Amino acid sequence: MKKVVVVGSLNMDLVMEVNRIPKIGETIKGDEMSYLIGGKGSNQAVAACRLGNEVSMIGCVGKDTFGDKILKHLKEEGVNVNGIKSDEATFTGIATIFKTKNDNSIVVIPGANDFCDKNLIDENIETIKSADILVTQLEIPMETVEYALKVAKENGVKTILNPAPAREISKEILKNADFITPNETEFEIISNKTFKDGNELEEAMIAWQNENPSTRLVVTRGKDGSSYVEENKVETMKTIKVDVVDTTGAGDTFNGALAHGVSHNLLMNEAVTFAGTAASLSVTKFGAQTGMPKFEEVNKILNVK
């Protein structure tokens, strides 16, 4: 079993099922409302755990009902929650998700996620040192992300940075990120460019990869698969065709599964295909974590070791 440590966010997702996203100034009637456990960090931890890895999570919830529910759920999934602080001074992060038939929009109120600080990393430094791979995202303070990546890198632990929600990334952060995994929109923000079409995206990917040779860029492209740069050429791993129920958490599944592939030393094409297949399977059920596959389900499609 490989050891995966996730440093990141934990949220309660308030999912509103709607026909369409309301326009500014408009009130619309929704169909259903569900409380589901989410947060990019917690989702990535569950994704990696379902695939058979030993997963520890470092993050922060409030000392409240949502925080208790998240901790209970992660324990039931098999995630080690010793690195999750319950803070009395704040409330658990909330994500309001407007879910339409084909897509979603999300508003996150970070709450306790903003209390995931460098001290918490220091308190859990042994967990990071003993891991095979560290995964982090940008729903916690940037300085914590930077510090966690630095500690991991200094201790020979591989690192994946999922730059979501997208923000400008410093050179210091990139220096310690072995992989960076934006979706197309996030890559526009990171590269400070806009793309009219796939060709422009691919040109920008090659340019970015040449400028940042020590960080492997993987761009997730929804139903078009996932792309990376190999010898100045973009390689795209296609996805499998599925009936989409809910795309929430697809990117998180991709990252949890990429952590599995990288820590098991799969080749780049194998690791990206594995992650893309897991992400495709995840969108076939409602909720960020419900459809995250077990290793056997991905293996049945791919036949990987």
Q: Which stretch binds ligand RIB (CB under 6 A): 6-14, 83-91, 126-134, 193-201?
A: 6-14
Catalytic residues: 252
Considering only residues 270 through 299, tell me which ones interact with ligand RIB, judged by CB under 6 A: 288
Instruction: For residues 243 and 64, give the distance between their C-alpha atoms in angstroms, rounded to a whole number.
Output: 36
Instruction: For residues 17 and 246, give the distance between their C-alpha atoms in angstroms, rounded to a whole number.
Output: 10
Nearer to ligand RIB, 229 or 279 (CB): 279
Dihedral angle at the C-alpha atoms of 36, 113, 128, 69, nearest 10 degrees?
-30
For ligand RIB, the binding residue among 2, 3, 40, 216 (CB under 6 A) is: 40
Residue 118 burial class via C-beta count within 10 angstroms: exposed 0-12, middle 13-18, buried 19 and up: middle
Nearer to ligand RIB, 98 or 179 (CB): 98
Q: CB nearest ligand RIB: which residue?
A: 38
Does residue 39 bind ligand RIB (CB under 6 A)?
Answer: yes
Nearer to ligand RIB, 40 or 50 (CB): 40
In the complex, minimum distance from the CB of residue 94 to ligand RIB, in angstroms, rounded to a whole number: 8
Give me the helices (H) in the chain, please: 40-50, 65-77, 118-123, 125-129, 142-154, 171-175, 184-191, 198-211, 250-263, 268-282, 295-302
Longest dimension (CA), the chain: 53
For ligand RIB, the binding residue among 63, 69, 96, 106 (CB under 6 A) is: 106
Does residue 139 bind ligand RIB (CB under 6 A)?
Answer: yes
CB 87 within 8 A of CB 61: yes
The site for ligand RIB (CB under 6 A) is made up of 9, 11, 13, 38-40, 43, 95, 106, 108, 139, 248-249, 251-252, 288
